[in-house]
Amino acid sequence: MAKKLIIFCLFILGISNLTFSQTKADIVKEIDQNYDKYGNLAHQIWEYAEVGYQEYKSSLALQDLLKANGFKVEAGVAEIPTAFIATYGTSSPVIGILGEFDALPGLSQDASPSKSSLGGIAGHGCGHHLFGVASAAAAISLKNWLQKSGQNGTIKFYGTPAEEGGAGKVYMTRAGLFNTVDVVLHWHPSDANKSDAATSLANKTGKFRFHGLSAHAAGSPERGRSALDGIEAMTHMVNMMREHVPEDARMHYIITDGGKAPNVVPDFAELYLYVRHPNRTIVKEMWDRIENVAKGAAMGTGTTVDWEIIGGVYELLPNQSLADLMNENMQALGGYELSPNEIKFALEIQPTEGMKIKDLASTKIIEDVKSTINGGSTDVADISWAVPTMGCRTATWVPGTPSHSWQAVAAGGTSIGTKGMILAAKTIATTAYDLFNSPAEIQKAKAEFEERRGFDFKYEPMLGDRKPALDYRN
């Protein structure tokens, strides 16, 4: 009778693989019981939609949640006002959990299947409102288990701002905040459920500022030197570089300031540029060439130029053993089904421009572990070179949704986002539970980490010794 009751409970919890222990099932149940609370908090942060290093309300909301659940919070770490560490426990092993909460500028959008701005300056096009809350939910459930069981161990929740171009985690890594951690776990919103041993693109970013001489563009143009000409000369040469860099390199930019009036020769102009490649050494080499391009553009246009390094991140260092462990837990949990209202939303948004038509049933599927290269960059990568690190992705968007899109913002503000967020919380919590209970798993992850990283590795951040770029979104 007791065995039948446990099986029934596991079925109700949506656990598709009965290898879960009763304790794991209890951890999962606790997260489910707080579904509405976590969903409401994520939606609140979705409405805040604060950009990098300006996430004061979002950061404080997560700090308050963790404090209320028995964590000791240290705010303003690594010289970043919105960065924090929330800790429970004092013994080994130490498991770190990452939480993000910054939004993207220019993506204000309501939670509807048609493009409709809320009138704000930003939106959660990468789902970081879900990211931070799911990670906090996992940390709280683990804390409660540690407290009840008397199990040895420490949980460190890292509130990590400005992932979107601000490289917040790089400053935290540089400050040595992960030096005492055994393993770091994280996740990311997506349109599918998977736990890949993936790498990513290293990148380096900066703002190039050209200075010239103002003059009347019609009355006395010969007396002016256009800073915008400097920008245009630079971008022309950057685009010619595309023929002479590795084919998997990426360069992209925006002109953030090109002058104020057509009849005034602009004495100032600014270019914001990214360089990416799967190997950070290639990124450094390309960046050196781009600096020379900027100098040449200034010389040829009679202007001057200076630049500021805004961000720089490594490529992710994969960890197959942690990927396999996390995938086992995702497989045991299973995905989730869309409700009739969610299916209606999905069928309306899938045909919109930029989307791909994918099977809506994929929210129920856990994909197999693969070794891939993600097309984007992340500051999680720098942490992965300091400590064994692993993350998963869950379907918080309609299948076929690209990240950094209004469609991602819209779905992230609905119950689809909440369901994917809760799956991520459960995956992190159950994976951390295995690590707390199996020192062998931690040692296996560390052995792989050392082999991949190399025993003579020395960490040198891509952004050098600059202070956090707290004003990069201004």
pLDDT (tens place) for every residue of the chain, 474 residues total:
444 344 334 434 444 443 578 899 999 999 999 999 999 999 999 999 999 999 999 999 999 999 999 999 999 999 999 999 999 999 999 999 999 999 999 999 999 999 999 999 999 999 999 999 999 999 999 999 999 999 999 999 999 999 999 999 999 999 999 999 999 999 999 999 998 888 999 999 999 999 999 999 999 999 999 999 999 999 999 999 999 999 999 999 999 999 999 999 999 999 999 999 999 999 999 999 999 999 999 999 999 999 999 999 999 999 999 999 999 999 999 999 999 999 999 999 999 999 999 999 999 999 988 777 777 899 999 999 999 999 999 999 999 999 999 999 999 999 999 999 999 999 999 999 999 999 999 999 999 999 999 989 999 999 999 999 999 998
Q: Which residues neighbour 285 within 8 Å (Cβ) at sequence distance 6 or greater?
A: none
- In contact, 462 and 381? CB cutoff 8 Å: no
293, containing H or E segment: helix 280-301
Q: How many domains does the chain have?
A: 2
For helices 280-301 and 227-241, what crossing angle results, to 10°? Answer: 140
Q: Residue 166's domain is classified under what CATH number?
A: 3.40.630.10
3-state secondary structure of 127: coil
pLDDT at 21: 82
Same domain, 45 and 145: yes
Amino acid, res. 355: M
pLDDT at 351: 97
Q: In terms of Cα–Cα distance, which of 195, 196, 437, 199 is closest to 329? A: 195
Residue 470 domain-assigned?
no
Bond into 189 cis (ω within 30): no
- The residues pairing with 99 across neighbouring beta strands, listed in sequence order, are 159
Is-above-0.85 flag for pTM? yes
Same domain, 173 and 272: no
Report the relative pairing of strands 104-105 and 154-159 from DSSP bridges: unpaired
Q: In terms of Cα–Cα distance, which of 218, 308, 224 is closest to 266? A: 224
Distance, CA of 115 to CA of 135 (rounded, Å) = 29
**The token pair that represents 15 in the structure block:** 């656990």
- In contact, 50 and 159? CB cutoff 8 Å: no
Tokens 């900027």 locate to 294
pLDDT at 374: 79
Distance, CA of 139 to CA of 86 (rounded, Å) = 9
Final residue of a structural domain among 278, 309, 340: 309
Range(s) of the domain holding residue 237 = 202-309
Same domain, 32 and 83: yes
Same domain, 33 and 173: yes
Same domain, 19 and 112: yes
Where does 285-343 show beta strands of DSSP type E? 304-313
Residue 260 domain-assigned?
yes
Show the CA angle centred on residue 208, arms to residues 202 and 211, nearest 5°: 175
Backbone CA torsion sign across 116, 35, 428, 41:
positive
Count of C-beta atoms within a 10 Å radius of residue 107: 20
Phi-psi domain of 302 (left: phi exceeds 0; alpha: psi -120 through 50; beta: other): left
Same domain, 84 and 18: yes
Per residue in 109-161, pLDDT (tens digit) is 999 999 999 999 999 999 999 999 999 999 999 999 999 999 999 999 999 99
Amino acid, res. 160: T
Q: Which residues neighbour 133 within 8 Å (Cβ) at sequence distance 6 or greater?
A: 38, 41, 42, 45, 62, 65, 99, 421
Could you give phi then psi for residue 274, rounded to 5 degrees?
-115, 145
390, containing H or E segment: strand 389-395
Same domain, 271 and 358: no
- Residue 321 has, within 13 A of its CA and on its CB side, a CA count of 18
Final residue of a structural domain among 264, 282, 309: 309
Same domain, 212 and 326: no
Residue 214 domain-assigned?
yes
pLDDT at 197: 87
- In contact, 415 and 342? CB cutoff 8 Å: yes
**The token pair that represents 280 in the structure block:** 């950070």
Residue 102 domain-assigned?
yes
Same domain, 265 and 196: no
Same domain, 269 and 343: no
Residue 152 domain-assigned?
yes
Backbone CA torsion sign across 410, 131, 100, 280:
negative
Q: Residue 244's domain is classified under what CATH number?
A: 3.30.70.360
- The residues pairing with 103 across neighbouring beta strands, listed in sequence order, are 51
Same domain, 261 and 409: no
3-state secondary structure of 465: coil
Task: Look up residue 413 and give its DSSP letter.
Answer: T
Residue 464 domain-assigned?
no
Tokens 């701002």 locate to 161
Distance, CA of 377 to CA of 383 (rounded, Å) = 13
Residue 460 domain-assigned?
no
Amino acid, res. 21: S
Same domain, 395 and 374: yes
Distance, CA of 404 to CA of 392 (rounded, Å) = 18
pLDDT at 72: 98
pLDDT at 19: 54
Residue 119 domain-assigned?
yes
Distance, CA of 87 to CA of 67 (rounded, Å) = 9
Could you give phi then psi for residue 97, rounded to 5 degrees?
-130, 130
Distance, CA of 203 to CA of 274 (rounded, Å) = 7
